[in-house]
Amino acid sequence: MDRSYWRIVSLVTLWQVSASVCYYTVFAATPFFRDVFGLSRFEVGLVITGLTLGYAVFLLPLGAATDRYGEHRALSLGLLGLATGVLLVTGVTSSALLLGAVFILGSAYGTAIPGTNKAIFDSIDSHRQNTAIGIKQVGVTAGSGISALLVTGLADAVSWRAGFLVAGLFAVLVAVAFFILYDGGGDGGTGTFPDFRRLLSNVPYRALTAAGFFLGAALFTTTGYTILYIEESVEATVVFAGVVFALVQLFGSVGRVLTGWLADVLPGDPQVRITAILIAQTLASSILFVVVAATTTPIASAVAFSALGFFVLGYTGVYYSCMATIVPPDEMGGATAGGQLALITGALVAPPIFGHLADVFGYRTSWLFLAAGSVVAGILLVGVVRTNPPVDQPTADVE
């Protein structure tokens, strides 16, 4: 692989690491939010929903702005917006202000998927895009793991707010470096919104995005409640819970790279082989949710959550690779936005439900709720394999 490939992939991945450090500080700080603001488990879910709602509301406008002005400017400004968001969280004095601050933080994260995907698809050869997407997506799990260690580690020595301050400073430095060093091919274009009516005529795309609702519910709820669950139910320290959360992200990173590589090298029809990988990840996640619900000791929980992270956090690259096999290249921008909205919709709905079930029935019921949703996702993904896209819509070259 040539130097330009690694230059683009490295810069985009570094951007994603920094952005995810900022975004996932909120997930890592859930025990401290609960203590400081007296939140119930249900209200913790509302904080996660507020963060995700900001992301969802601004995803399409920021995606269109990325098309119009290019990922260079969009990603640089987006990271500065994320730095501003984490700094706002450090100054809140009430739960209402906390909801407003996380909404702003989430809105700036809306530059991530459109900008980083555009950078990869515009600058990387099609024969290496699946691996590049997998590497780039490691930035999400790596950043999330770093945020957990920052927030929980510094909370013991200084304050949970110190982790947010470090994340904000790191984001500013990376934003400046990215603006100076990035020289990818996307300079902006028309900035139009996706044609969802045309996309919805694509039957396998409908099945994939329907599954995406349940996949997003599983992913974001797992990241939102891992630390709180380890502290409350397993009765481990919050520092140990932060380490477990980092392990979840680490194994998720391994899953993203490995499955991206498999999507590139395995033989057979791309639509079938890539969807089969995603189905296997989804069904394995459902089994591991049941295992997590049954664990009661710190070490057993660490092992179970690590395995869960490999599958439930490892699917996102394959999700978009699967999309490329059923959607034509000139519709990938809109398809990506629609697919991400499906994930985010699941993330908006599931965390409060999970928290309410934990308040009323206990955490075991909550984890079984996610297991059931993963089974539904697996069934929906079978429809991606059993149907074909419209004959007038040639799909992207993913060989």
pLDDT in tens, 326-335: 887 666 666 7
Residue 72 domain boundaries? 3-182+196-386
Establish if 392 belongs to a structural domain: no
The lowest-confidence range among 70-84, 129-143, 200-214, 338-352 is 129-143
The pTM of this model reads 0.75
Let me know how long the chain is: 399
Q: Which residue has the higher pLDDT, 43 or 200?
A: 43
Q: Is residue 399 part of a domain?
A: no
Please check whether residue 395 lies inside any domain of the structure: no
Q: What is the mean pLDDT of residues 287-311?
A: 94
Q: What is the mean pLDDT of residues 279-302?
A: 94
How sure is the predictor about 399, in pLDDT bands with cuts at 50, 70 and 90?
very low
Residues 80 and 17: their CA atoms lie apart, in Å, by 14
Q: Whole-angstrom Cα distance, residue 284 to residue 75? A: 34
Least confident residue range of 301-305, 323-327, 367-371, 375-379: 323-327
pLDDT at 188 over 70: no
| Lowest pLDDT segment from 116-125, 129-138, 184-193, 347-356 | 184-193
Angle at the Cα of 219 (from 237 to 146), degrees rounded to 5?
A: 50
pLDDT score of 394: 47
Q: Which residues contact 260 (CB under 8 A, 6 or more apart)?
A: 130, 131, 132, 133, 134, 135, 137, 317, 318, 321
The pLDDT of residue 4: 75
| Span 88-112, pLDDT tens digits | 999 898 989 999 999 999 999 988 8
> What one-character-per-residue DSSP string does 4-58 give?
HHHHHHHHHHHHHHHHHHHHHHHHHTHHHHHHHHT--HHHHHHHHHHHHHHHHHH
Considering the domain boundaries, does residue 125 fall inside one? yes
Total domains in the chain come to: 1
Residue 52, pLDDT score: 87
Query: Does 191 fall in a domain?
Result: no
Q: Is residue 227 part of a domain?
A: yes
pLDDT at 317 over 50: yes
Alpha carbon distance 399, 201 (integer Å): 25
pLDDT in tens, 18-50: 999 999 999 888 888 888 888 888 888 899 889
Q: Are 79 and 115 in contact (CB under 8 A)?
A: no
The CATH number assigned to the domain holding 99 equals: 1.20.1250.20
Of 73-87, 294-308, 337-351, the range with the lowest mean pLDDT is 337-351
Q: Above 70 in pLDDT, residue 187?
A: no
Tell me 313's DSSP state. S
Give pLDDT, residue 251.
92
Helices 238-265 and 270-294 cross at an angle (nearest 10°) of: 160
pLDDT, averaged across the chain: 86
| One-character DSSP codes across 188-241 | ----PPP-HHHHHT-HHHHHHHHHHHHHHHHHHHHHHHHHHHHHHTS---HHHH
**Would you state the pLDDT for residue 97?**
93
- Is 190 part of any domain? no
On whether residue 122 sits in a domain, the answer given is yes
